[in-house]
Structure 1
Amino acid sequence: MPKYIWGVDSAQKVTQELYNCVVNNYSYPNFWGRYLTTVPNASEGLTANEIQFMKSKGIKLLPIYNDFRKATGYREGQVAARNAIFHARRLNLVEGTPIFANIERFFEVDEAWIRAWVETMYPSGYMSGFYHDPQEGSFNEAFCEAVQKNNQVKTQSILWSAEPAPGATDNKKAPTFNPKKPNCGGNVWAWQYGRDSTVCPIDTNLIDNRLFMKLA
């Protein structure tokens, strides 16, 4: 198995049409990032039928939770994590699967929310993950503050970096895996290097095979 694996994520459901678009214009996606719930004007929620379709194509699922508009406060982080766990169980995702909190660069974010996500996710059996931008916005500072208070935040979570973003490509033209990291480090095992493809409604990604092995 190669050290870094190519795949995509999308706010839209994985249909035969979207799958064909990706395969015909890019490459076969080894994994697909999808959102656990429907959020108006943001994402279509994952369904059991969609998971079955992906399995029939041999595609692994990278689950994302995005039903929040800011990431501040310990209690709010707990609630978000519990909701994500509920939806993961509803969809029968196996324990050990990482669930990524979708923290956009324009979100308010503090260390308490990040800590709560990790501390709530850990005993559930699921792994905690963070989609983030380590350069723009407040994630870098908040994450490193959370690490200072609980090193488990660094050791038990997987980071999915959105920087740099040279643009969407197929597997063969993907850049060398080199995502930006928070100042305090962390397990940056995923990189969304190509946002908002103009050909298909997807983003392109590379992930470390250590993350790939944990996907459902």
Structure 2
Amino acid sequence: MEIYEWGVDSAQNVTEDLFQCVMRNFGYPKFWGRYLVRVPGASEGLTKQEISFIRSKGVKLLPIYNYFQEAKGYRQGRVAANNAVFYARKLGIPKGVPLFANVERFFQVDDEWIQGWTEAMFTSGYKSGIYNDPMVGGFNKAFCNAAKEDEKVKIQNILWSAEPESVPSGPRNPPNYKPKAPNCGGNIWAWQYSRKITQCPIDTNLANSSLVNLLW
């Protein structure tokens, strides 16, 4: 029987205040998703000090790369993966940890980009992950086309689904694990199930233990 763990992600840096807000309103997260790079108006970048703080709480880090605004072209996919690896190494994140490309629903995305990202991540020693919306936007078609071209795309990628959206909750009362997948399937190992949260500037997630065990 698969075990599902509760966690959060945030665009803000993880401070004691934010951690206590999550604890007070929801509960103890098993993992925390954070962005590797600062993107003005979108996310603060992860720091070594922040990593030490997160890990000192016994919480695992889920690294996200979002320093791109579209996901088109094989070369651009490789460049994005290589940049994600560069920042991960700079922060001391060890090989074997999944790095997630942040492919938003409003991005232009094609199968070549997904192939480029996947191949470059595979040779880097890190695991390939993609945050995506399989229902809105072009990811579903692009991913399935890429998987049709190369089966490794489907096998090697860990998918983090943004659908469907549910009500916020903590580890004591999570929803049943039923994330949406691309039409062709895939390893849907994480689900961001709530983004409309008023108590703290976070999103809530469920991930299976296979993913959580890979996190750092």
TM-score by length of 1: 0.98
2: CA distance, partners of 1:65 / 1:50 = 16
Q: Does 1:64 align with 2:64?
A: yes
- SS of 1:143 mapped into structure 2: helix
1:129-140 mapped onto 2 (5 Å cutoff): 129-140=129-140
2: CA distance, partners of 1:96 / 1:152 = 17
2: CA distance, partners of 1:88 / 1:151 = 26
- SS of 1:78 mapped into structure 2: helix
Match of 1:200 in 2: 200
2: CA distance, partners of 1:113 / 1:196 = 30
Identical-pair percentage:
58
Deviation sequence 1:104-129 (CA, Å, 0-9, x none): 00000000000000000001100110
2: CA distance, partners of 1:2 / 1:128 = 21
- SS of 1:44 mapped into structure 2: coil
Give how far 1:196 is off: 3.3
- For residue 28 of structure 1, what is the amino acid of its counterpart? Y
Deviation sequence 1:149-201 (CA, Å, 0-9, x none): 11111111100000001121111121010100000000000000011311100
2: CA distance, partners of 1:168 / 1:191 = 13
Match of 2:92 in 1: 92
- SS of 1:86 mapped into structure 2: helix
Match of 2:123 in 1: 123
Aligned residues: 216
- For residue 117 of structure 2, what is the amino acid of its counterpart? W
Deviation >2 Å, runs of 4+? none
- SS of 1:121 mapped into structure 2: helix
TM-score by length of 2: 0.98
Match of 1:214 in 2: 214
Match of 1:107 in 2: 107
2: CA distance, partners of 1:44 / 1:167 = 25
Task: Show structure 1 runs of 5+ residues with no match.
Answer: none
2: CA distance, partners of 1:82 / 1:168 = 34
Give how far 1:2 is off: 6.9
Task: Show structure 2 runs of 5+ residues with no match.
Answer: none
- For residue 196 of structure 1, what is the amino acid of its counterpart? K
